[in-house]
Structure 1
Amino acid sequence: MRYQVVAVIFAVLQISQVGNVNPYLILSWFLLFFLAIYIGNLPTSGVNRIQPLMSRVVRPRLQKEKVRYYPRITRRKFFSQVGIIMATAPFVSKLLGGMKGRFAFYVREIHMVFPNLPEGFDGIRIAQISDLHIGSFGTNRDPLREAIELVNEANPDIILFTGDLVNNFAEEAKGWENIFAKLQAPMGKFAILGNHDYGEYSRWHSEAEKAANFRGILAAYERLGFKVLRNESVQLFRNGDIIGLGGVENWGTSSFPRNGDLALASRGIRHLPFNILMSHDPDHWDKQILAQDFYDLTLSGHTHGMQFGIEKGDFRWSPAQYVQKRWAGMYREGNKFLYVNRGLGYHGLPARVGMPPEITVFELHHGAHINAMLN
């Protein structure tokens, strides 16, 4: 069996070397199939091997005097098989639940108070989405149609998308225009690039082919209604006041490429009293952004919360915490805040367990005391 597994992985990797062919959906379902087979074997290490056992059950034993249509089975064998089924059932149910969980969209509302927020922006609502990995949905339009309805129901003034539109290829975003056209935000829809938006996770026949794919991804963002900020900033106007919004290209310690230029992204808004930054990888916050002491609120994504974890009250755990210091939710250092969105899509294994796809809605208020509260 191990040789077949290696052969399938090798075949998928070979597919990924061909431009315009998206192997991620194939690989995702292979991983799911592989996990479904082997996770059931975990609790049975002390029991006889399943294959010989099942062969005895399935194959009727022929005897000279008569044909038995049901196999002989001892009490011990019967209870061992029942034990296997009972031990495996929770894992299978979790697996199936995780598959369903990838579409269990969750709207998380956060109220924040800043003394330096201009009064004209009091009550502004900002919706953040991140990490769509739209190719993982294949031709299934319904889940994201539902997600977009949830975004609109939150009545955001502005929508910010913090990167990873695709897994790797521009073609993944084709055919979604009518669905994303329904996103409503009177003050605009802005986006930045994530590490998957550069086409770095495939081999290309030429640099020209890779560059064409990148141009296609940029065009897809615009086609879906987002203005991409590539180390740029814009001024936002509301009720006679102004705040700044900056967006950097991907910058991180563990993901590539590193194209973010914070200084360039901050031009034209440094004189403003309040500023928001979009940076895909949360590692950027500790490495560069905090030291600038400039951006009041930074929005990131990237981690997905590793699509697996436990969040109950104050208890939070995910394998993601062993990879990145800031892996999900709100973080504060002094009067500066970072929020890491858990992602709206999925990548790799087509499942989410304890880490549902997230739509974050921030409602900002002007007030005397800085504060952030989950509603």
Structure 2
Amino acid sequence: MKTGLFILVAGLLCVLLNDSLLYLQIRRYLRKRIYTCLFWAHSLFFMACIFVYHFFIPTLKGPEAYFWVGKGVSVILLFYTPKTLYIIINAFAILLRKLKCIPAARIISRTALGIALFSFLVIFYGITWGRCNYKIERQQVCIKELPDNFNGYRIVQLTDLHLGSYGEHYPGIKKLVEEVNALNPDLIVFTGDMVNSFASEMNPWIDQLKELKAKYGVYSSTGNHDYGTYVRWATREEQADNLKQFFKNMEAAGFHMLNNTNVPLVIGTDTIYLAGVENCGRPPFPCFGNLPQALQGTEGHTVILLSHDPSHWRDEVIRYPVALMLAGHTHAMQIGIQIGSFRWSPSKYIYPEYNGLYETNGHQLYVSRGEGYLGFAGRIGQRPEITLIELTNNCK
């Protein structure tokens, strides 16, 4: 209750402070009373929305809470990020005017307006078309010990769908299935966070997800959100039933769960193993994984491991004979810059391995930024990813 009240007060103060500073900077353009009234009506509208959200969201006991929170966060960012950028940059223009540097002040003022408009358009794209504008990341992974029959083996990795974040008319899942199947993969793997908390989030999408096809099967491990630990359940039994239903839904959608287990992948006389651990992350994230159990019986073979949280790689996995670990979890924070080989996201300051391929002492990790979203209902500069991994033993 205290946290909710803090968010309410902080939200109202941020909107009021932001709009007050903006008004002081642009009031000379609002000389007509109608313009001033419209400006403050806009501000009051957002404060009213924050107030309504404070009382509305706690009444939602199901997956729709995530949907509405995401929409609210996105709309606030859409309007108040440009405003904040304008206020900060335009402050320099105001200072230059006081110093009688009028030409420079005009340039900076126009620059502030241009940056604000650009940021609005970028965020708008991110919460509309950008959220399901999938990018196929093609990554060749060299494993010296890989059996010859697996040379060129193609794995599609999916992760972090967070199905409860979408409305029922979301086009992204159908598009995802079509794009994955068009790649004609040998294997499809999913590395956790299919849902936000509730097994029922899968219900609208099961029929579409079971259309995913791969020659050697579709497999999955669990992520931290799949256990429903972010919800206050009436009883422990209710939470346990939710998890049981989640596994039933995954099976209905065609996913073979690897819960601290492994499965052999056989081509001709050659065998490699696909292993999967339950979520294992650093606090506050839960750790249900049992890596030794997951690797039991794989000795002497190439092992590919599904583990949701990339921090598990350095914490434990690199001490075991795992050639390649596939992870997700970070979303690359759904915001950043990616131009060619240059990548940056605030996520790097939390997860040293947050996006792409990493290697240390012969152990490799690939972290996908995933296909879905949580909190902010979109993507900015970090397109949702379909990963196509091609295995090879031709190491240069």
Q: TM-score, normalised to structure 2's length? A: 0.79
Q: Which residue of 2 aligns with 1:299?
A: 326
- Give the equivalent residue in structure 2 for 1:322: 349
- Partner of residue 101, structure 1: 130
Contact 1:234 1:269 in 2 (8 A): no
1:312 paired to 2:339: yes
Once the two structures are superposed, the pairs formed by residues 329-344 of structure 1 within 5 Å of their partners are 329-344=356-371
Point out the structure with the larger helix share: 2
**Pair 1:290 & 2:318 matched:** yes
Identify the residue that residue 30 of structure 1 maps to in structure 2.
Answer: 72
Contact (CA 8 Å) 2:63, 2:197: kept in 1 or not? no
Q: Deviations over 1:173-227 (max 9, x none)?
A: 0022221222111201100000000001111111111111111111111111001
Which of 82, 86, 91 in structure 2 is aligned with 1:40?
A: 82
The one-letter code of the counterpart of 1:285 is: W
Equivalent residue, structure 2, for 1:67: none
The residue correspondences of 1:1-375 to structure 2 (distance < 5 A) are 1-2=12-13, 4=48, 7-8=51-52, 10-11=54-55, 14-15=58-59, 18=61, 20-42=62-84, 43-44=86-87, 86-99=114-127, 100-272=129-301, 274-292=302-320, 294-367=321-394, 369=395
1:268 Cα offset (Å): 1.5
**C-alpha offsets along residues 135-183 of structure 1, whole Å, 9 cap, x if unaligned?**
1122124211111111111110110000000011111100222212221
**How far did residue 327 of structure 1 move?**
0.6
Identical pairs, percent: 35
Structure 2 partner of 1:60: none
Which stretch of the first structure deviates more once superposed, 278-287 or 207-216?
207-216
One-letter amino acid of the counterpart of residue 124, structure 2: L
Give the 3 Å change call, closer, same or farther, for CA 185–255 of structure 1 in structure 2: farther
Offset at residue 115 of structure 1 (A) = 2.2
Aligned-partner Cα distance in 2 for 1:283–1:80: 43
Per-residue CA deviations over 1:3-34 (Å, capped at 9, x if unaligned) read 75664453355235x3x343111001111122
Separation in structure 1 between the aligned mates of residue 204 and residue 300 of structure 2, nearest angstrom: 41
SS at match of 2:358: strand
Mind listing any 5+ residue stretches in structure 1 that lack a counterpart? 49-78
CA distance in 2, matches of 1:260, 1:92: 42
Query: What per-residue deviation string (whole Å, max 9, x for no partner) do you get for residues 223-256 of structure 1?
Result: 1100111111111111221111110000011452
How far does the alpha carbon of each residue in 1:290-327 deviate from its partner, in whole angstroms, 9 at most, with x for none? 122x0000000000000011122342210101111111
CA distance in 1: counterparts of 2:317 and 2:228, whole angstroms:
26
Moved over 4 A (4+): 3-6, 45-48, 79-87
Tell me the distance in 1 between the aligned counterparts of 2:149 and 2:188.
Answer: 18
**What is the TM-score of this pair, normalised by structure 1?**
0.84
The question of whether the paired residues in 2 share the 8 Å contact of 1:195 and 1:255 is answered with: no
Q: Residues 212 and 311 from structure 1, CA distance in 2 versus in 1: closer, same or farther, beyond 3 angstroms?
A: same
Write the letter of the residue equivalent to 1:160: V
The separation in 1 between residues aligned to 2:90 and 2:246, in whole angstroms, is 52
1:97-129 residue CA offsets vs partner (Å, 9 max, x unmatched): 211211110111112232211112122111100
